[in-house]
Structure 1
Amino acid sequence: MKLKVCSVDLLSSRTGQNRKEHHTDLYHGDELIIRRGQTFQMEMELNRPYDPDTDKILLELKTGPLPLVSKGTHVIIPLVDHLEDGRWEAKITEQSDNKIKLSVNSPANAVVGLYGFTVTSRHVKNETANTHNPDKNIVIVFNPWCEEDTVFLDDEEQRKEYVLNDTGRIYYGTEKQIGARTWNFGQFHEGILEACLFILEKSDMPPSGRGDPINVVRVISAMINVQDDLGVLVGNWSGNYSDGVSPAAWSSSVEILRKYHSTGGEPVKYGQCWVFSGVTTTVLRCLGIPARSVTNFQSAHDTDVSLTTDVYFDEKMEPIDELNSDSVWNFHVWNDCWMARPDLPPGNGGWQAVDSTPQETSQGTFCCGPASLSAIRSGHVYLKHDAPFVFAEVNSDKIYWQRNLDGTFSQVHSEKKAVGHCISTKAVGSDDREDITYLYKHPEGSEEERIAVETASRYGSKPEVYSAPIAEDVCVEVKMDGEGPRIGSDAQLRIVVKNMSSQPRRATLHSQAAVMYYTGVLKNAIKKDQILVELLPNEGFFSVGFISIGTISFLGCLRVTNRPMYF
């Protein structure tokens, strides 16, 4: 009698053995969801007892529109006597009459995604095979619990936080007024896994590329925004959200992803950085990649790969608006994700920055990352992906330039502590805020931090920016009392100028206050001032001003003798 498979039990219920052992019991539904690099079990009922001497059984998994064995998208799993790590294999662990139980092994680099599953049985002397299609799919995701998987995270509490926790906190505001909003990531809710797989399928990445988390993270970064590929979210910073949802109204990724999936990929309106980040955290955690939302205060946006934040003035020290495209956001939210980086020199694995907010293109696409935090901290911005942009966000100097009479520009001052403050994420196991600035850069002003800045600058579009030191014997600092400006209240600014030299200095203090969006884009100047100052050796001077505005940007310059300084 020919051997036939009558039924297959994938032991896939949420309380079943596979879902428990693979830490996938939190996902909604009863389909089989497994983590790669780990064995799983199944039971089969046959039409007669299985005879290992005369019967052959093969399991087959297929993913993608054109499954190929050579691409790892068509998997043929043979029965073996002993399982070996690192390959697709199956072994019979129990046999009772017409029933057998199999233990199936998967490699730690298996392609993630949705697989169709069939079982083929035949007699060794009969070429005619019987194929049983149980009409059940298997979903394979990344495995942070597996040491051989490149997303392995060797800390159970961190795995609980960065993979299994479906709620979190996203920070906003200013470094002196840090606010927090609770966000429902909801990666295990009904329909979310399907939506995440839909995003992968909708991308241009071939299914064979889904085994590499570097590829997956890069594609997700591109697909969360609408640019280039009709991704999940439309960005809107205009203040007019009448034909959609205000970014500030979202508190969950669930509705966004369900809506995107149910409409067949119609982009959802609207998002800003914290929404892009929240959805990215959801998708990465759902696919098994450890991830967290991260907020950087005083976050620079470098538009010309100079690795500096540049401010340009004309000969009269008036800002040149058409050149001042760089900006400093009050705050900006992106993501960290955890993985090894075998494509980079040793020591660059671990946390990687990834940003789904569309700002600048990367290899022609609006995406950013994954960029090694270790590389960013050291200024090794030549290491992919997009390390220069992230470095500028957290550790660029603010450089001030004045136009000369011949049309060229001269560097007149640099501000070394202007960007990258209080980089924040939710702490493991609590709702406390954790400051992770130290992961992105060395302490401000330290020798290591200055070396990193100058190392990075050599790979930017202005490599000569630190070639000639500039004497700065007059110190300028803008201070604000208390926690900073509040809407409807006066903001008190103190401009402190000190002559650090042993010679007197005559100075002209130019100041300007302007309304600024949180993205660092200036709107209207609301106050300008000019004060003549004479400073004796080692003498200080300060000026006080009041401005009634909620959020302001202060821009100013100080001309000392024939040399101007800016702050």
Structure 2
Amino acid sequence: MNILKPGNILHTNRREHHTDLYHGDELIIRRGQTFQMELELNRPFSADTDKLHLDLKTGPLPMVSKGTHVIIPLVEHLEDERWEAKIVKQTGNNIRLSINSPASAVIGLYGLSVTTSSLKGEATATHNSSKNIVMLFNPWCEEDTVFMDDEDERNEYVLNDTGRIYYGTEKQIGARTWNFGQFHEGILDACLFILEKSDMPPSGRGDPVNVVRVISAMINAQDDFGVLIGNWSGDYSDGVSPAAWSSSVEILKKYHSTNGTPVSYGQCWVFSGVTTSVLRCLGIPARSVTNFQSAHDTDVSLTTDVYFDANMEPIDYLNSDSVWNFHVWNDCWMARPDLPPGNGGWQAVDSTPQETSQGTFRCGPASVSAIRSGQVYLKHDTPFVFAEVNSDKIYWQKNLDGTFSQIYSEKKAVGHNISTKAVGSDERADITHLYKHQEGSEEERIAVETASRYGSKPDVYSVPMAEDVSVEVKMEGEGPRMGVDAKLSILVKNQSPHPRQTTLHSQVAVMYYTGVLKGTIKKEEIPVELLPNEGWLSTRG
């Protein structure tokens, strides 16, 4: 018996399943959608005297109970949401089958066999196909949890194989073109290889939450021989500089061809670009997202904390939190039946190794809706992403008894100009409003205070602070440029009806884009006396 996939059947399946852009001659299908198959038997098939069923198996130990061994019976009428096959055409020894799959099917690489026998169970014969079947997620299927109902968005977030990734500073936003290349020859094989190399059992591949979480861990090589080694040292002599990459294709092919040897080197935009490629390749809508002034909260306080001693000198060993010029991660699209209603849609996922999550360097998927409202108790890793986009920057001073007092807070220090490529064009789309309410609005303040209650410093907002003296720092022009002087103006204003005496501590330092300090350039202490409602302006160059 031959299992036939002649050109017209293959192309029909590929076209109907939106998989015609993939290379190769495998049967690449999406779950929850009918597909066609042709069989050539050694004699004509008769439903009155013969039985036939198909077996699909995936993973090293296929089991019916785990959904990794699928037995597809022959039926007279197809019903949705189950594995079934129906004969739709018979010509001599050839039969054409129409086959259904459920929208919750395990994705991945399946081996196919066909078993025939008589109704009495005699003369049983099993034939293994030389071709495998690849099952993918299906954003076109309403029952699939990754369903996306807007065609333009599906074209952008699943089928577009190029894009733009943003970098720089909020005043000088740059863009690099990135080749995601999810349909390039060999990339689907590389993505399936990553799934196989992970510690996720094949039975877990039916849930996109699981798959995304595993991909987040596997794109970095921090603890599991994943795809990319991160390097922020400036020395890339034994590998490729992160800035030299412009495509995921070479990275994924190199990882696959070396049987899982991590590739050197990546930084956040490279991790994000590769993550977009893998998720789109597997059928999960995804995009690369850049956050400017992105906080890195190291102690789950939900605040970005800066500590000073009694003399207003920074306490370096405590100042582990940082703010990066920019940081790039991903959004992926899915329903979240594991969360309360309203938390589906875009989910933040970050493959750059920063903090561990359940013992592994990964982050997400975190509901963007939950992040926006400060519901950081909803999984996965929502507190970390919340802090990246909407934490307050709190300044603490050490008291004589060793405790710390809050001396100042910046409420608009992090999470600016959150950017992604627009649908259908190379324009930049600002999606800050998806991640946070309008800065300074009552809703945004409630979200911050809600989130902080679940952090390691729940009493940060329990004591109201006197905030009648404000400090505003502005930089002339578009911000600092290489080789050009930077000019700052500092406006201190007394907004109360009473005189105020204060000391302005200013410090200018050079830092890397990750927020790591290189060195202090200038420090000043200036006593300031302000009459009621008076302002004081200082210009520094």
TM-score range normalised by the length of the shorter chain: over 0.9
* Residue 483 of structure 1 pairs with residue 478 of structure 2: yes
Deviations 1:240-264 (A, max 9, x none): 0000000000000000000000000
Q: Which residue of the other structure, out of 502, 525, 532, is the alignment partner of 1:530?
A: 525
Task: Report deviation, 1:211.
Answer: 0.3
Give the alignment of 1:309-388 within 5 angstroms: 309-388=304-383
Q: Which residue among 88, 110, 113 is the counterpart of 2:108?
A: 113
Structure 2 residue 42 is the aligned partner of structure 1 residue 47: yes
Q: Distance in 2 between matches of 1:44 and 1:427?
A: 45
Q: Which residue of 1 aligns with 2:189?
A: 194
2:3·2:40 contact (CA, 8 Å) conserved in 1? yes
Kept in 2: contact 1:13–1:30 (CA 8 A): no
* 1:66 match: 61
* Matched residue, 1:298: 293
Deviation at 1:506, TM superposition (A): 2.6
Q: Which residue, 408, 420, 423 being the options, matches 1:425? A: 420
Cα gap change, 1:522 to 1:16, in 2 (>3 Å): same
Task: State the distance in 1 between where 2:194 and 2:144 align.
Answer: 22
Question: Alignment partner for residue 473 of structure 1, among 468, 475, 485?
Answer: 468
Q: Any conservation in 1 of the 2:309–2:397 contact (CA below 8 Å)?
A: yes
Distance 1:126 1:503, change over 3 A: closer
Q: Give the match for residue 80 of structure 2.
A: 85
Q: Which runs of 5+ in 1 are unaligned?
A: 1-5, 547-567
Q: Distance in 2 between matches of 1:216 and 1:12?
A: 32
Cross-structure match for 2:386: 391
Query: Which residue number in structure 2 is paired with residue 158 of structure 1?
Result: 153
Q: Which amino acid aligns with 1:236?
A: N
Give the Cα–Cα distance (whole angstroms) in 1 for the partners of residues 121 and 80 of structure 2: 31
Q: Per-residue deviation at 1:503?
A: 2.0
Contact conserved, 1:293 with 1:425, CA < 8 A, in 2? yes
Whole-Å separation in 2 of the counterparts to 1:13 and 1:207: 31
Moved more, 300-309 or 497-506: 497-506
Q: Which amino acid aligns with 1:117?
A: L
Distance of aligned partners of 1:335 and 1:516 in 2 relative to their CA distance in 1, 3 Å threshold: same
Alpha-carbon offset, residue 28 of structure 1? 1.1
Aligned residue for 1:558?
none
Aligned-partner residue type, residue 241 of structure 2: S
Match of 1:278 in 2: 273
**Equivalent residue pairs, number:** 541
Return closer, same or farther for 1:404/1:355 CA change in 2, 3 Å cut-off: same
Indicate the residue corresponding to 2:432 in structure 1: 437
8 Å contact from structure 2 (residues 9, 36) kept in 1: no
User: Over the residues paired in the alignment, what is the CA RMSD in angstroms?
Assistant: 1.0
Please give the alpha-carbon distance, in whole angstroms, between the structure 1 residues aligned to 2:4 and 2:530.
85
Structure 1 range deviating more: 98-107 or 163-172: 98-107
1:117-266 counterparts in 2 under 5 A? Answer: 117-266=112-261
Identify the range of structure 1 (317-326 vs 10-19) with the bigger mean alpha-carbon deviation. 10-19
CA contact (8 A) 1:12 1:33 kept: no
Distance in 2, matches of 1:58 and 1:526, equals 76
State how far apart, in whole Å, the 2-side matches of 1:504 and 1:10 are. 85
* Structure 1 residues 160-210: Cα deviation after superposition (integer angstroms, max 9, x where no partner): 000000000000001110000000000000110000000000000000000
Q: State the one-letter code of the partner of 1:138.
A: I
Change (3 A) 1:528 1:13: farther
Question: What is the CA-CA distance between 1:11 and the residue it aligns to?
Answer: 4.8
Any conservation in 1 of the 2:254–2:263 contact (CA below 8 Å)? yes
SS across alignment from 1:490 = coil
Kept in 2: contact 1:14–1:29 (CA 8 A): no
The alignment partner of 1:491 has SS state of coil
Residue from 445, 458, 470 that aligns with 1:463: 458
1:413 aligns with one of 408, 415, 425? 408
Task: Read off the aligned partner of 2:147 and give its amino acid letter.
Answer: F
Note if contact 1:10-1:41 (Cα within 8 Å) is conserved in structure 2: no
**What SS class does the counterpart of residue 39 from structure 2 fall into?**
strand
Distance 1:501 1:71 in 2: 67
Which amino acid is the alignment partner of residue 160 of structure 1? Answer: N
Which amino acid in the other structure matches residue 486 of structure 1?
R
- For 2:417, the aligned partner's letter is C
Partner amino acid, structure 1, of 2:181: G
Specify the SS of the correspondent of 1:322. Answer: helix
Distance in 1 (CA, whole Å) between partners of 2:375 and 2:191 is 33
Q: In the alignment, does 2:539 pair up with 1:544?
A: yes
Alpha-carbon distance, 1:81 to partner:
0.1
Assess if the C-alpha contact under 8 Å between 2:219 and 2:275 holds in 1.
yes
Q: Distance in 1 between matches of 2:290 and 2:333?
A: 17
Partner of 1:95, secondary structure, is strand
State the one-letter code of the partner of 2:174. G
| TM-superposed deviation, 1:441 | 0.7
Q: TM-score, normalised by structure 1?
A: 0.94
The unaligned stretches of length 5 or more in structure 2 are none
Q: Distance in 2 between matches of 1:247 and 1:14?
A: 43
Q: Deviations over 1:203-223 (max 9, x none)?
A: 000000000000000000000
Amino acid paired to 1:493: L
Normalised by the length of structure 2, the TM-score is 0.99
SS in 2 for 1:179: strand
Q: Deviations over 1:317-337 (max 9, x none)?
A: 111111000000000000000
Q: Is the 8 A contact 1:12 1:32 kept in 2?
A: no
What does the per-residue CA deviation read over 1:496-548, in whole Å, with 9 as the maximum and x for residues that have no partner? 111112222233222111110100111100111222222222111111112xx
Alpha-carbon separation, structure 1, partners of 2:428 and 2:342:
27
Query: CA–CA distance in 1 between the matches of 2:361 and 2:473?
Result: 36
User: C-alpha separation between the residues in 1 aligned to 2:7 and 2:101?
Assistant: 16
Q: Following the alignment from structure 1 to structure 2, what is the Cα–Cα distance between the partners of residues 221 and 295? A: 16
SS in structure 2 at match of 1:118:
strand
**Cα 1:389–1:487, aligned 2, differ >3 Å: closer, same or farther?**
same
Equivalent residue of 1:77, what SS? strand
Runs of 4+ residues over 6 Å off in structure 1: 12-15
Mapped to 2, the partners of 1:511 and 1:449 lie a distance apart of 28
Label 1:411 to 1:192 Cα distance change in 2 as closer, same or farther (>3 A): same
Amino acid at match of 1:149: D
Q: Percent identity?
A: 81
